[in-house]
Amino acid sequence: MERPGADAWIRQIASLDPAAVELYFGDQEHTWAELTSFADALRQALANAGTPPGAPVAWIARNQPSLVAAALGLLFGGYCISPINPHVPPAKLAGDVRAFNMAAVVAAPEDWTPELIAAARDIGAAGFALRLGADEPVRAMDGLSRVGPGPHRAMAPGTVIERISSGTTGEPKRFPVTAENFVRGLALAGSNEPGAKIEVSLKRSPAIVSNTFAHSAGLWEIMTAFFHGRPIALHERFTVEGWHASVRRFRPKAASLLPAMVAMVLEADLPREDLSSIVVVRSSSAPLPPETQRAFEEKYGIPVLGDYSASEFMGGISIWSLADYRRYGASKRGSVGRLKPDVEAKVTDSETGDELPAGEVGVLNLKTPRHGPDWVKTTDLAVLDADGFLFLKGRADEAINRGGFKILPEQVADVLRLHEGIREVVVLGAKDARLGEAPIAVIEAYPDRAPPTADELAAFVRNHMPPYYVPVAFEFVSEMPRTNSLKISRPALRESLKDKYQF
C-alpha cells in the first residue's frame, strides 16, 4: 500500500476491515465504520456552516470517543486541529476561545457552557456539540449554525495540526505542523532506525491512551495509532486502577507511561504477573529518574525505553531501541536514547556558541527537516557521548548563578532523589541579596514515612556535591502541582512560594 497524505492513508487503513473495533472506551466499542461515518458527518457539517477550507477549528480536547472521531473529521476535511484545554474553569475556556478566534468550535455537550456559547457568538464561530452514537451525533448549537463574517484566525496553507507545549515553565506555546511533517513524524514514531517499515495490523492489542488530549502527547498517541492501524483503549484520565484494568483486559505487548505514571505504577505495587504480557514500556515527555527506572525494571522485569520529544519539532528527537537497550541499558542509564535518523544535533558552549566535544555539557542545538533547514538553539542543556547517546541536564534558562558559581538545578534534584525519604523534588533559583541567586529545594516526601529534616538533606547534598550546590532552604509540600501532562509545574510552585521568595 503506497503511503499518501495522512488523511488518505488512514482512510485506506479504515477500509481494510470497517467492522473491526478501533476504539474502546469503558464498556463502549466503536468500529472503524462508526468513526469514519461520524468524521464525514462532521466534515460535511463544517463545510455547510461555511467554515473556510484549511481553517483552524477549536477542538475542545476532552478524552472522549466523540473527540477522537472529530479529530479524524478535521483531518479528512482539510482543517487544522487546534486543541483547547477543557480542564480549566468555564471563564478561562471561553477566554481561550476568544483569544484564538477560530471560525468553528467542536466540543462535547458538557463543555457547551453559557460562557463558551457566549464566546463563540462573540467571535462569530460556528459551534457543534458532539456525541458519538447519538441520534444526532453532530448537533449545531442554537444560534451557532453558521460562521460569522470574521475576520477569524488563519493558518499557513497546508497546516493540519497545532501541537501544544507542556507548559511546565510558562503558558503553553503552539506550534503549527504541515501535512508533510505530520506524515514524516508519524512514520518515524517508535523508531530510530533509518528506513524502518510502517507496520499496519488491525489485530494488535490496543494502545492504552490515558494522556490528556489537551497536551500533545495524547493527540499524538491517537494519531499514531490511526496511522499504524492499531486499536485504541481510551481513558478519560490516567489512574493506576484504570490502566491496570486495561493491561489485564487487553494484554498489550507494549505500554506507554509518562515518568510520573511509571512512579505511580511502581508505588501501587501491582502483581508482577498482571504485567507479564508487556515486553517494553516507553516513557516520554520528560526524563525518567534513573533510580525510578532501575526500581521498575527490577520489580517487573520490563525494560523502560525513554525518549526525548519537543512540540516544535513534530515528534521525537531521540529514542531508545530495544537493541540499544540490550547492549547499553546498564551503562547508559539516564540517557534519552540516540537521535532519530532525520535529526542532527550538536552541543555548544552557552557563552561562545562554539561546538563542544563529546561528553561535555552545553546547549543542545537541533536540525531536522521536520522543522526547517536551519539549526535551532534549544533551551535544553545536554551531553552527547561518543556512542551518540543523548543525556539531558536541565534547562539553560533555569541555571542558577550563585555568586559566580553556576548550578544546574536538575543535578541537585538528581542527588536529592537518591534519598530514601524523598518522593519528588524540584530545585528553583531564588533571588539573593548577597549572591545574586541561591537554590531552594521543594520536597514532596512519602506520605507514609517521616519526612527528612532540612539539616539531614543539606548534609546529604554536601556529601555528594560541592558546598555551593547545597540549597539554602528546603520547602515541603504535600503534593507537587502538575500540568495536564503530569509534569511538575514550576510556575505554580513559584506562585505558591512568592510570599517567601523572589524569583
Whether 453 is in a domain gets the answer yes
Whether residue 162 is found in the same domain as residue 310? no
What value does the mean pLDDT take over residues 394-399? 82
Whether residue 393 is found in the same domain as residue 403? no
Please give the pLDDT value at position 180: 83
Whether residue 107 is found in the same domain as residue 139? yes
Q: In terms of C-beta density within 10 A (0-12 exposed, 13-18 middle, 19 or more buried), how is residue 189 classed?
A: buried
Whether residue 306 is found in the same domain as residue 412? no
Please give the pLDDT value at position 300: 97
Instruction: Give per-residue pLDDT as tens, 243-276.
Output: 999 999 999 999 999 888 998 999 999 999 999 9
Please give the pLDDT value at position 216: 78
Under a CB-based contact definition with an 8 Å cutoff, are residues 218 and 63 in contact? yes
Please give the pLDDT value at position 2: 45
Please give the pLDDT value at position 315: 67
Under a CB-based contact definition with an 8 Å cutoff, are residues 287 and 318 in contact? no
Whether 17 is in a domain gets the answer no
Q: Which three cell numbers stand for residue 25?
A: 472506551
Looking at the chain, the whole-number percentage of residues with pLDDT higher than 90 is 67
Please give the pLDDT value at position 1: 41
- Is the pLDDT score of 280 beyond 90? yes
Instruction: Give per-residue pLDDT as tens, 139-158.
Output: 999 999 999 998 999 999 99
- Is the pLDDT score of 338 beyond 50? yes
Dist CA 123 CA 100 (whole Å) = 10
Name the band, by pLDDT with cuts 50, 70 and 90, for residue 27.
very high
- pTM equals 0.81
Residue 254 sits in which domain range? 238-397
- Is the pLDDT score of 44 beyond 80? yes
Q: How many domains does the chain have?
A: 3
Whether 479 is in a domain gets the answer yes
Instruction: Give per-residue pLDDT as tens, 193-241.
Output: 555 455 555 667 899 999 889 877 888 899 989 988 899 999 999 999 9
Please give the pLDDT value at position 215: 78
Q: What is the CATH number of the domain that holds 464?
A: 3.30.300.30
Instruction: Give per-residue pLDDT as tens, 83-140.
Output: 999 998 999 999 999 999 999 999 999 999 999 999 999 999 999 999 999 999 999 9
Whether 247 is in a domain gets the answer yes
Instruction: Classify residue 237 by its DSSP letter.
Output: S
Whether 227 is in a domain gets the answer no
Please give the pLDDT value at position 166: 58
- H helices of 314-403, in order, are 322-328
Whether 195 is in a domain gets the answer no
Dist CA 154 CA 149 (whole Å) = 13
- Is the pLDDT score of 61 beyond 60? yes
Please give the pLDDT value at position 429: 94
Tell which of 178, 208, 223 closes a domain: 178
Whether residue 243 is found in the same domain as residue 368? yes
Enclosing H/E stretch for 123: helix 114-123
